[in-house]
């Protein structure tokens, strides 16, 4: 268990600057390619036209080429006859104009009188309807400057200018070595302890997006000599090498030692979170980077460091970062030691863009999928208060965000179904959901973070659902309810109920391991309401304090025998192949500020949940009564 | 010369709507692909996770897994000894936690006392430092909805969720048939009358960008039966077919008749400019589009119609169009009959974004290369006044535009060189130039359209350069001059001067064909100044009224024997292999509002023109004296 200490805790900008300057001129070798195959390539020298376009005087119209001096006296009352071959030549658009002619009369202005004779009734000016040589492109003219990334229209102009081959930067080959004894290729027969290797696949497709060529090597076990051999081979074959995992300070992390032995480590440890244990070095003057194993850490190292190196091979320094200003919905704490990358969801709620922080764990791949943007909290700042204006680096388009319904509240699988059907139906609107429980949803509406909040809040006094909570907490807001479903809550247990649980009392009397939903969730309230009625003390439930955030998490824990039972809805139990002991019905509805009821997106959402397609999906999930779905209840 | 009349002049939006609805459900067939190869593909059904991630409880730290109840009494003063195998298991991040343990203590909190014993001095809470099963992804959870376009991070989440294969829309195959007897493949031995075929190459790379697979067929001559045969073959092999050219009303345009014979023409003639002669039809229920031959027309038909059909195959309807508001620098006239697409240059000049219209010819491929955006002028509007606020569809990024020096004025090849070196040096700044002559440059500064204006304006009275014009026309602005070059103006003639011209008088006395620069250009003033001194009447110069806009255009016309001589600078003559009769020196400088002198981009520009690299390029071009280059002269 010999531990290594990170060499430095260097700031990101400084680390990148140091590393890039240490690497020196990265620009790739140049190669000549056919212009027709050059889309998205970067030219390494300016492209000048080799010929003019058009390279001869040509007709701009369908008509006849003639000599203007022969037409000067033409008028309605003095129509002039012209004879083909002698006075004119029939030309189509693009045809060359012979030297003896200086003008084109368009076909619409001709009166055809025989096979080879026309009358004209207007004079023609010299050079009329003629595209002069070089009108579009003049020989020797700059078409695109160095380091320009080629677009389709550039290909057209280069070919028009006689440039059939161009010099571009070679695409750099980036080697990727996944390491780890516990790492396995994606497969179906996984066993406990296996970790699916997917970082290299994410890196590969990022590298392709940035214009490089990924070369992914096979997984290497945690063995110093094996990793060293793989690194040496990759350094020979590639322009840059990434070694994944093995850069934290774990027992079996050899990347640091290997890079030090074969070349030099320039930086180990960067003051960012996630991503700090990255290693930046070089072997044989080629960059080699040790990338942390946690997917989110890996992502930020790729995006903030490797991207700049790879773009450097292509001679590209600047890149567009789309930034928008948003209002932070909650306070975010941050470490003084690190620049912190916080993934956020964004929503146009009313006239404000609201940024809501997502799960900050370095292993949370879904936080990257769901993130709309990244909030960077600088080092030496302890946190940012709710309501602050913050700059967000966008990960999705503004239009995407504008067309997204922000749904914050209680979790139910039907939310995923509604999200999918909404986008399938409209191809325009998205529904993004955060699962923070019913009370979390109420609070999100209160602070203007959400468009809708799915809730199932049981009034402990009256036994009524939802309305009393809205009145109590959102009395100052003008809220309506879109009716959702009645769903069955119950106890989830393993298939065939091996412990033979039949009621909430059994959980106490049989001393089984329970797993609970978080405070503020409707299911927690449902439990508390029912144990209160039964005079059960929560302290007598083993695991009452162990909290999960979704029905599916509870079901997954039970399925994995990690707990013996938990409370949740029928559809989640069914999805996980569990048995289910029904305890009662509850009303799962959508609270919505009335002002949003007339927005197109919410109208489409209501259409979707009222649709036959949606009801069919509910039937497949099971355990839902949707007789009132989509009805609006004013409060 | 049998002429066809366009069937309709239907509005663009209506045409697209009609055509798409006529085509019916376009969605491609679906196919199963490996998740690891799915970047940029569009999923045809929602992707749900097949396993949880992690799919077992795992350690979130390097350290030891232990049972929390054994640690409860640990403190600084009551250190507890734990024994490996009995009390704990050494775990690394990601390792599974065996059922008998419920807590992880991180390595930093352990005091190692022997090979298999540690002391702890803090208690461990249950589930501390454990990533519970499903923390990131729960089995059955929606990862991405239908019709989502896959990004690198999605690949990671899908693999983590056990999804190794996904269903996506097949990429549609789009056939492209270039037609025309005069059309030739890009090559070097061109002859007069040849038209280089490049539209199909532009289409191909647009189709690739949009997610389709282009299949480009060989050029087909203008022959009804040959084109018909090609169309039938392509319709068999592809999902959609584009026939290029042959959609105007020229003599040899068969596309309309062929589509009508083999299938149906839905729309012929759309109320847009450029692009009106497009033909939208179908054969065997597959879309077939006749695309006009002019490159700019073709571009707008591709962008506004074909793109929507191709995206339709992929189930994508919405797309982001970036729009910015700009101030129109000049009045633009427009036809009442058409929706008109006007390519514009954009510049951040001061705090405004200025939109300046570019060459509107349908053949102007360079206008597409140079355009920063497109101004759409609706049908039934005659024009838009200078100073109006207009919405511009962006073709480049806002950052690109923000980093662009707008240079409007007189043309010299050194502007291209400076543009290239500026970008090469900084990788950030761009210089975009419009060639409208020196007076055009003065006017651009006056109306705030440009950052700098290259000018060489000879005072007809004093014989002094530039300063008097700035005082006269820009007296109310605070203008400085960045000194440029002294350059030699003279007469350009064919190699070896076959007509033996020696002076301006010879142009008159030998009655040779002259080609002139446009009014307002410095070269025109230079000519006028000199013929006035020589008492030559401009009417005696044959071709005095034939105007071109650049030195290179003049040189190209002389090189093509399209004129016998013209006035211009030495470097242009040299580029075109012409002989040159020097007439005198002139000062070619850059006028610039003083407020811009301190901007980073202009400072970099000055650095560039003062650099040795730039001077070397000037030496290569020849005919420049750069002893004062880069000096600032206050006026």
**A289-310 tens-digit pLDDT:** 999 988 999 999 999 999 999 9
Whether A368 sits inside 8 A of B196 (CB atoms) is no
Closest-CA distance of chain A to residue B395, Å: 10
Rounded to whole angstroms, the Cα distance separating A583 from A600 reads: 38
Q: Mean per-residue pLDDT for B554-570?
A: 91
User: Is the predicted pLDDT of residue B260 greater than 90, yes or no?
Assistant: yes
Whether residue B248 is predicted with pLDDT greater than 80 in this model: the reply is no
Coil/strand/helix, residue A205: helix
Nearest-angstrom CA–CA distance, B147 and B45: 7
Contact A424 B51 (CB under 8 A): no
For residue B6, the model assigns a pLDDT of: 45
Asked whether the beta carbons of A374 and A396 are under 8 A apart, the reply is: no
pLDDT band of residue B139 (cuts 50, 70, 90) is confident
Instruction: Please indicate, yes or no, whether the overall pTM of this predicted structure exceeds 0.80.
Output: yes
How many residue pairs from chains A and B have C-beta atoms closer than 8 A?
A: 333
Model confidence at A198, pLDDT cuts 50, 70, 90, reads very high
B148/A365 Cβ within 8 A: no
Out of A156, A427, A552, closest to residue B295 by CB: A156
Q: How far is B468 from chain A (nearest CA, A)?
A: 31
pLDDT in tens, A481-491: 999 999 999 99
Chain A residues touching residue B56 (CB < 8 angstroms): 192-193, 560
Higher pLDDT, residue A93 or A566: A566
Phi, psi (5° rounding) for residue A247? -115, 0
* Residue A320 pLDDT level (bands cut at 50, 70, 90): low
B398 against A83, higher pLDDT: A83
Q: How confident is the model over A76-100, as a mean pLDDT?
A: 91
Q: Are A432 and A406 in contact (CB under 8 A)?
A: yes
Ramachandran region, residue A361 (left: φ > 0; alpha: ψ -120 to 50; beta: rest): beta
The whole-number pLDDT of residue B3 equals 42
Tell if the CB–CB gap between B195 and A400 is shorter than 8 Å: no
The predicted structure's pLDDT at residue B217: 98
CA distance B457 to B412: 14
Out of A580-584, B152-156, B385-389, least confident range: B385-389
Among partner residues B92, B107, B299, which is closest to A252 by beta-carbon distance? B92
Contact by Cβ (8 Å): B90, B84 = yes
| Residues A201-229, mean pLDDT to the nearest whole number | 96
pLDDT at A100 over 90: no
What is the C-alpha to C-alpha distance for residues A437 and A296, in angstroms, rounded to an integer?
25
pLDDT at res. B7: 55
Q: Do you find a cis peptide bond into B274, omega within 30 degrees of 0?
A: yes
Q: How confident is the model at residue A218 (pLDDT cuts 50, 70, 90)?
A: very high
Q: Using one digit for the tens of pLDDT, what is the confidence trace for A144-195?
A: 989 999 999 999 999 999 999 999 999 999 999 999 888 899 988 899 888 8
- A292 contacts A299 by C-beta, under 8 angstroms: no
Q: In this complex, which of B57, B93, B369 lies closest to A153 when CB atoms are compared?
A: B369
Task: Give the pLDDT confidence score for residue B2 in this predicted structure.
Answer: 39
Report, as an integer, the average pLDDT of B469-489: 94
Considering only residues B8 and A357, tell me which one the structure prediction assigns the higher pLDDT.
Answer: A357
Per-residue pLDDT averaged across B23-40, rounded? 93
- d(CA A555, CA A537) in angstroms, rounded, equals 24
Percent of chain A with pLDDT over 70: 97
Q: Which residues contact A445 (CB under 8 A, 6 or more apart)?
A: A408, A453, A474, A477, A479, A591, A593
Q: What is the pLDDT of residues A553-573, one digit of tens each?
A: 899 889 888 899 999 999 889
B308, B16 Cβ separation under 8 angstroms: yes
Q: How far is A552 from chain B (nearest CA, A)?
A: 6
pLDDT band (50, 70, 90) for residue B250:
low
Nearest Cα of chain B lies from the Cα of A478 at a distance, in angstroms, of 31
Residue A2 has a pLDDT of 39
Confidence of residue A611 (pLDDT cuts 50, 70, 90): very high
Mean pLDDT to the nearest integer, A583-600: 95
In angstroms, how far is the first alpha carbon of chain B from the final one? 62
Mutate which: B41, B65, B188, B196, vs A, most A CBs within 10 A: B196
Q: What confidence tier does B360 reach under pLDDT thresholds 50, 70, 90? A: confident
Q: Looking at beta carbons, which residues of chain B come within 8 Å of A96?
A: 192-193
> What does pLDDT average to over chain B?
91
Beta bridge partners of A442: none
The string of pLDDT tens digits covering residues B489-541 is 999 999 999 999 999 999 999 999 999 998 888 899 999 999 999 999 999 99
pLDDT over threshold 80, residue A340: yes
Residues of chain A with Cβ-Cβ distance to B182 below 8 Å are: 94-95
DSSP letter for B63, please.
E
DSSP-derived secondary structure letter, A47 = E
pLDDT recorded at residue A257:
92
Is there a contact between B148 and B167 (Cβ–Cβ < 8 Å)? no
Q: Is the pLDDT of residue A249 over 60?
A: no
Report the gap between the CA of A133 and the closest CA in chain B (Å). Answer: 7
Predicted-complex ipTM score: 0.87
φ, ψ for residue B215 (rounded to 5)? -125, 110
Question: So what's the pLDDT on residue B551?
Answer: 86
Q: If you measure CA to CA, which chain A residue comes closest to B550?
A: A138
Distance, in Å, from the CA atom of B173 to the CA atom of A456, rounded to the nearest integer, reads 49
Split at pLDDT 50, 70, 90, the class of A318 is low
Predicted confidence (pLDDT) at residue B111 exceeds the cutoff of 70:
yes
A4 pLDDT band, cuts 50/70/90, is very low
Question: Is A139's CB within 8 Å of B369's CB?
Answer: no
Percent of chain B with pLDDT over 70: 97
Mean of pLDDT values over A407-417: 89
Residue A501 DSSP SS3: coil
Is the model's pLDDT at B322 over the cut of 60?
A: yes
For range B303-320, the mean pLDDT: 87
Residue B320, pLDDT above cutoff 70: no
pLDDT of A1 > 70? The answer is no
Instruction: Give the model's pLDDT for residue A433.
Output: 85
Mutate to test the interface with A, among B62, B165, B205 (most CBs of A within 10 A): B205
- Cβ-Cβ contacts under 8 Å, A186 against chain B: 35-36, 159, 162, 164
> How many Å apart are CA B436 and CA B343, to the nearest integer?
16
- Region of B185 (left: φ > 0; alpha: ψ -120 to 50; beta: rest) is beta
pLDDT per position as a tens digit, A10-25: 999 999 999 999 999 8
The CA distance from B429 to B601, in Å, is 6
**Residue B432: predicted pLDDT:** 86
């Amino acid at each position: 268990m010999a531990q290594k200490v990170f060499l430095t805790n260097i700031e990101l900008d400084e680390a990148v600057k140091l590393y890039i300057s240490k690497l020196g001129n990265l620009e790739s070798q140049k190669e000549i390619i056919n212009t027709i195959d050059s889309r998205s390539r970067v030219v390494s020298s300016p492209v000048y036209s080799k010929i003019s376009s058009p390279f001869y005087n040509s007709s701009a119209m369908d008509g006849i080429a003639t000599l203007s001096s022969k037409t000067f006296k033409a008028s309605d009352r003095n129509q002039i006859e012209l004879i083909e071959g002698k006075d004119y030549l029939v030309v189509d658009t693009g045809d060359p104009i012979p030297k003896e002619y200086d003008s084109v009369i368009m076909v619409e202005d001709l009166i055809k009188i025989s096979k080879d004779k026309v009358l004209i009734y207007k004079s023609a000016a010299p050079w009329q309807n003629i595209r002069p040589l070089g009108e579009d492109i003049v020989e020797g003219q700059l078409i695109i400057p160095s380091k320009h990334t080629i677009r389709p229209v550039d290909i057209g102009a280069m070919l028009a200018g006689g440039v059939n081959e161009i010099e571009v930067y070679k695409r750099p080959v980036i080697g990727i070595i996944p390491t780890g004894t516990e790492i396995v290729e994606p497969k179906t027969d996984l066993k406990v302890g296996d970790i699916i290797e997917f970082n290299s696949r994410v890196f590969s497709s990022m590298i392709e997006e940035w214009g490089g060529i990924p070369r992914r090597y096979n997984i290497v076990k945690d063995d110093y000599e094996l990793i060293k051999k793989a690194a040496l081979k990759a350094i020979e074959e590639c322009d840059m090498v990434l070694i994944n995992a093995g850069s934290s300070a774990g027992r079996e992390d050899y990347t640091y030692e290997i890079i030090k032995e074969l070349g030099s480590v320039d930086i180990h440890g960067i003051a960012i979170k996630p991503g700090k244990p990255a290693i930046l070095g070089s072997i044989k003057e080629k960059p080699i980077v040790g990338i942390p194993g946690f997917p989110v850490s890996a992502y930020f190292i790729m995006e903030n460091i490797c991207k700049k190196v790879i773009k450097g091979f292509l001679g590209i320094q600047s890149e567009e970062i789309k930034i928008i200003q948003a209002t932070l919905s909650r306070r975010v704490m941050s470490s003084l030691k690190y620049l912190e990358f916080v993934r956020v969801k964004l929503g146009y709620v009313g006239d404000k863009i609201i940024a809501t922080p997502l799960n900050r764990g370095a292993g949370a791949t879904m936080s990257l999928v769901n993130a709309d943007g990244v909030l960077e909290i600088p080092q030496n700042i302890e946190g940012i208060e709710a309501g602050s204006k913050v700059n967000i680096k966008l990960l999705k388009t503004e239009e995407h965000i504008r067309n997204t319904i922000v749904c914050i509240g209680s979790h139910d699988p039907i939310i995923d179904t509604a999200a999918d059907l909404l986008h399938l139906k409209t191809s325009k609107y998205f529904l993004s959901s955060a699962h923070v429980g019913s009370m979390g949803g109420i609070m999100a509406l209160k602070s203007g973070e959400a468009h809708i909040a799915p809730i199932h809040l049981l009034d402990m006094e009256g036994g009524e659902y939802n309305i009393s909570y809205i009145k109590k907490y959102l009395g100052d807001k003008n809220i309506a309810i879109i009716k959702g479903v009645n769903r069955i809550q119950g106890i989830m247990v393993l298939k065939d109920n091996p412990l033979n649980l039949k009621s909430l009392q059994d959980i106490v009397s049989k001393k089984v391991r329970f797993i609970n939903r978080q405070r503020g969730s409707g299911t927690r309230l449902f439990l508390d309401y029912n144990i209160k009625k039964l005079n059960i003390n929560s302290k007598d439930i083993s695991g009452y304090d162990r909290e999960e955030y979704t029905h599916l998490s509870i079901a997954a824990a039970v399925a994995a025998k990690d707990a013996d039972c938990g409370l949740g809805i029928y559809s989640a139990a069914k999805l996980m192949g569990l048995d289910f002991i029904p305890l009662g019905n509850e009303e799962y509805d959508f609270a919505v500020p009335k002002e949003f009821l007339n927005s197109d997106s919410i109208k489409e959402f209501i259409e979707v949940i009222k649709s036959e397609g949606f009801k069919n999906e509910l039937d497949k999930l099971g355990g839902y009564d949707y007789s009132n779905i989509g009805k609006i209840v004013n409060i």
